[in-house]
A and B are shown apart, each in its own frame.
Chain A
Amino acid sequence: MRVNGRPVPFDPRDPQLAATRLLDVLRDRLGLTGSKEGCGVGECGACAVLIDGRSACSCLVLTGQVAGNEITTVEGLADRGHGDLQAAFVRHHAVQCGYCIPGVLTSCAALLERNATPQRDDVTTALGGNLCRCTGYQRFTDAVCDVAAARRGAAPADDGDGDGDGPVGAVGSANSDGQRAGGS
């Protein structure tokens, strides 16, 4: 079992660990607290991680089940080449409280890895299992489509530093649907 590209410093087939939820091993054993528990029953997706490149709820996986697999958490997304996706989420104001974001990003990363030209409906399908209570989801789709276009060379590539420290531009321009109308 490898997590974020590194072998884990324990035996995932150890009887006690094998029967422990992957989420608990990630958070408590490896200190990777990026993955969150929002419901414990696979409904909210805050715990989603990549298992061999596919997004799954780590609250519904026992560690022994993935003893031979490659796990990627939000902490490993940049090393997997998704720094631009992370930066796009910041740039598109797709984060509010942020608690759902680790799972949302891993689901989006899985989508981009298998589909270089995702349409908006593809993002909807990929994120059906990731609940967000803050954003209304629209920025997620904007960010993913933007990144996909940039990776195809269809738009200026992002600097990828994810620091989001620059102004986004003129009023309302961060969101294509954000318009301003004249007052009374």
Chain B
Amino acid sequence: MTTPDTAGTPPRNWVGRSRPAVEGAEIVTGELVYVTDRRVPGMLHAVVVRSTVPHAEIRRLDTSAATALPGVVAVLTAADVPVNALGPREVDGPVLCKTVVRQVGDAIALVAAEDAATAAAAAAMVTVDLEPLPVVDGPDAALDPASPQLHSVGNIAGRIAFASGDVEAALAGADLVLRRTVHTPAQEHLALETPGGMAIWADGKVTIWCGSQNPGLHQRKVARALDIETSAVRMIAGPVGGAFGARNDDPVPVHLAVLAHATGRPVHLHLTREEVMTAGTKRHPFTTSIDIGFDRSGQIVASQVIAVADTGPVITSGPNVLKTSAEMSTGPYRFPMASFSGTVVYSNNSNNGAFRGYGVPQVAFAVENALTEAAAELGIDPVEIRLRNVLRGGDPHSLYRHRTTDSLQVETTLRTAAAHPLWTDRQGWQAAGDGLWRRGTGLACAMKGVGMGSGTGDVARARLEIDATGAVTIWAGPNHTGQSIQTTYEQIAADALGLPIDAIEVRVGDTDFVPESGPTAASRSTYAGGGAVTRACAELRETCARLGLPLATDPAGTGEKLVELGSAAVEAEFFLPSTEDIGLIPADQLATYGPHRVYGACTQVVRVEVNIRTGELRVPDLLSVVDCGTAINPAATIGQAEGGALQGLGLAVMEEHRLVDGVPVTTNLENYLAPTIADAPHMQTVLISGHEDTGPYGAKGMSEVVVVPAPPALAAAVLDAVGVLPDRLPVTPERMLTWLEEQPCG
């Protein structure tokens, strides 16, 4: 990118080279102290008392026996929370339920005791009389006027609709119209570290060590609940064991803070896996219908997508997820005309929230399946039909008609995948299979926006300070939840400053030091956070150039001089650039739709073997071709692609959070299946060359888009293998065998 660099651009030593994670050595030796590993003398142990039913009125809450138990320090209920709200709106939900519980696992009381066993015993002694209410067990019930209304605003958490023309009229002229409905399940994030951590109240200030993808947001939530200034709240968001969206909407930092505030003692809380699987957020389950028309040559004529999502009892990310679904309801393709209509409802099911991919995998499954089916119906190669419709960089977006970035390379990912042996050898590979395990190869592609979207005020910041030895410390966000973003920021800074990488230290995830930078979300960390780091470095270089200080050749002398001059610290911002042309979107509704300027893309090829007697599936190989602009740290980027692809594949073949009448039944890792190493395919990843002009060194985000193609690619592979195109995820052996028996193939 262009930097105001009067001293010339230093050579690239680090950007584009694979660099191991800076915290790697501490991880492999077990030394790294995760937030839930933290222990201090005198700390209390906390337990959350939770609802056992999906919907009930709280008739009576009696904590006296629990409070009287020796060793118990506090039993807190809604009345003990200064401002009992997790957000500014009623639909954000309370910190602790007062009059009603709306899901199994809803938090009712917090217990703190001298030891864990006493806390557990006391929690069991809290008496909660719950008067069951009718259960809203999904969208059908939610939209039934006879059902209970879960909030004063009703059962609709959000709607979004947009049309670029009369789709039905356009479909009348199409040669092929497919009207299809697909179902995608709630998916568990399954970050290996369950939520928890520690909080300490001291000198009028609370410090919370707890995983968070948005430390600033959690800081504000805590300040609201305790009715204190945000400056009296310090969130330290790591180190933490994974996130994937789960640490966006997590109430645990607030619970910790309330406990520390009430007791004045250090408090430790660590949820069990069963607790987080019951009470924690999931990926929104969707029912997505698509009506899509093609002409004889495979050109898309128009489409109409209708999506219904279930967000559970409180709003969390529901409407925002649906916003992303709307934007991606036309996939990475050119549609002359399109419409989207989405509804997200409240229910008494598990709460659903942000999850890597953020509403895109659900609608992409509908769109890509339609492309796959149309190709088969029209006798066109699955790659060819996609190439005939592919959106190119600079094209107007198919729904909103806003201008997309020039760096978008869906086409190159498609062509690269199509030239790969996994695709070109698909017939030979299929023929080499046996009669029992039928083989097939499938392909799908996707794109996803980078950052929070136009008009949303998305900004990341970085603060940089050089000391008298020439050592540079950078406080930047978004923070680290497993992707070692610090390593990426260091690489960017080393090149931007022209300094040895060892002279640079990056710190993330601490609200006392890192300026507000928004969430680790929306594929924005490298792009926006890296952008802020680049600008902070450029400012320092500019200062040095102005003062004639030789930063690169004499960092110590330069640092000493800058410290002496009081110019050793700089802070910079990176504003997400809005799209240059907002297309059909009314200017005053830009944030409502939040269209992106920058998109990343990915095409995946999946090989599958289907046992036609048992319905079992095996996935031996997966190829990801990723359009991420410049890969700052290629091996780390490939690692994101591999992990993301496997998460998408898990959604495709085994993962499903299930409930019966609002009661979660997949509440531990025995009955919720996620891929083990034995289920993981051999993965190949190709990063195509590219450059996003608005990103740091040409980089753009990619960690979400790699989740998206795997399910429809898997479905296409199943079609190739056995002639059946799955319309419901996950493709379990049971579903597979049912479909096979409806169409026997041997």
Which A residues form the contact surface with B (CB < 8 A)? Answer: 27-28, 31-41, 43-44, 46, 73-75, 77-78, 86-87, 89-91, 93, 95-102, 105, 123-125, 127-141, 162-165, 167-175, 177-184
Residue in contact with A97 in the complex, picked from B272, B415, B481, CB distance below 8 Å: B481
Q: Are B676 and A128 in contact (CB under 8 A)?
A: yes
Q: How far is the CA of A160 from the CA of B690 in the complex (A)?
A: 36
Q: Are A41 and B191 in contact (CB under 8 A)?
A: no
Q: Are B483 and A96 in contact (CB under 8 A)?
A: yes
Q: Are B30 and A172 in contact (CB under 8 A)?
A: no
Q: How far is the CA of A52 from the CA of B242 in the complex (A)?
A: 31
Contacts of B23 in A (CB 8 A): 98
Which B-chain residue is minimally distant from A173 (CB atoms)? B18
Supposing A131-B674, A171-B17 touch, asked if A184 and B411 sit within 8 A by C-beta, the answer is yes
Contacts of A90 in B (CB 8 A): 20-21, 24-25, 27-28
Which A-chain residue is minimally distant from B192 (CB atoms)? A99
Q: How far is the CA of A171 from the CA of B688 in the complex (A)?
A: 12
Q: Are B680 and A138 in contact (CB under 8 A)?
A: yes
Q: How far is the CA of A177 from the CA of B685 in the complex (A)?
A: 6
Query: Does B434 touch A at the CB level, under 8 Å?
Result: no
Which A-chain residue is minimally distant from B676 (CB atoms)? A128
Contacts of A74 in B (CB 8 A): 28-30
Residue in contact with B642 in the complex, picked from A31, A38, A87, A135, CB distance below 8 Å: A135
Q: How far is the CA of A137 from the CA of B669 in the complex (A)?
A: 18
Q: How far is the CA of A100 from the CA of B296 in the complex (A)?
A: 51
B 587-629 to A, binary, CB cutoff 8 A, 1 in contact else 0? 0000000000000000000000000000000000000010000
Q: Are B642 and A97 in contact (CB under 8 A)?
A: no
Q: Are B668 and A46 in contact (CB under 8 A)?
A: no
Tell me the total A-B contact number using a CB cutoff of 8 A.
246
Which A-chain residue is minimally distant from B674 (CB atoms)? A131
Can you report 24 residue pairs joining A to B where beta carbons are below 8 Å apart?
A33-B34, A36-B37, A38-B193, A73-B30, A86-B25, A89-B24, A96-B483, A97-B242, A98-B239, A99-B242, A123-B677, A133-B192, A134-B482, A136-B642, A138-B642, A138-B682, A167-B14, A168-B19, A169-B17, A169-B18, A174-B638, A177-B683, A181-B416, A181-B689
What is the size, in residues, of chain B's interface with A at 8 Å between Cβ atoms? Answer: 76
Binds A, one of B57-65, B394-402, B643-651: B643-651
Contacts of B502 in A (CB 8 A): 165
Supposing A172-B638, A177-B683 touch, asked if A133 and B30 sit within 8 A by C-beta, the answer is no
Residue in contact with B21 in the complex, picked from A34, A164, A169, A172, CB distance below 8 Å: A164
Main secondary structure of the interface of B (DSSP, over half): loop
Query: Does B426 touch A at the CB level, under 8 Å?
Result: no
Which B residues form the contact surface with A (CB < 8 A)? Answer: 14, 16-25, 27-34, 37, 39, 189-194, 239-244, 270, 272-274, 409, 411-412, 415-416, 481-484, 502, 625, 631, 634-636, 638-639, 642-643, 645-647, 668-670, 674, 676-678, 680, 682-690
A160 to chain B, nearest CB (A): 11
Q: Are B674 and A133 in contact (CB under 8 A)?
A: yes
Q: Are A91 and B482 in contact (CB under 8 A)?
A: no
Contacts of B33 in A (CB 8 A): 33
Q: 8 closest pairs, A vs B, by CB?
A: A34-B30, A99-B241, A97-B482, A136-B642, A98-B27, A174-B635, A74-B30, A164-B20
Q: Are B192 and A32 in contact (CB under 8 A)?
A: no
Q: How far is the CA of A82 from the CA of B191 in the complex (A)?
A: 27
Contacts of B28 in A (CB 8 A): 74, 86-87, 89-90, 95, 98, 101, 105, 162
B243 to chain A, nearest CB (A): 8
Contacts of B189 in A (CB 8 A): 133
Supposing A36-B34, A38-B273 touch, asked if A86 and B682 sit within 8 A by C-beta, the answer is no
Which A-chain residue is minimally distant from B641 (CB atoms)? A136
Q: Are A136 and B680 in contact (CB under 8 A)?
A: yes
Most buried by A among B16, B24, B482, B682: B24
Q: How far is the CA of A101 from the CA of B677 in the complex (A)?
A: 14
Q: Are B409 and A184 in contact (CB under 8 A)?
A: yes
Q: How far is the CA of A95 from the CA of B636 in the complex (A)?
A: 9
Most buried by B among A134, A177, A178: A134
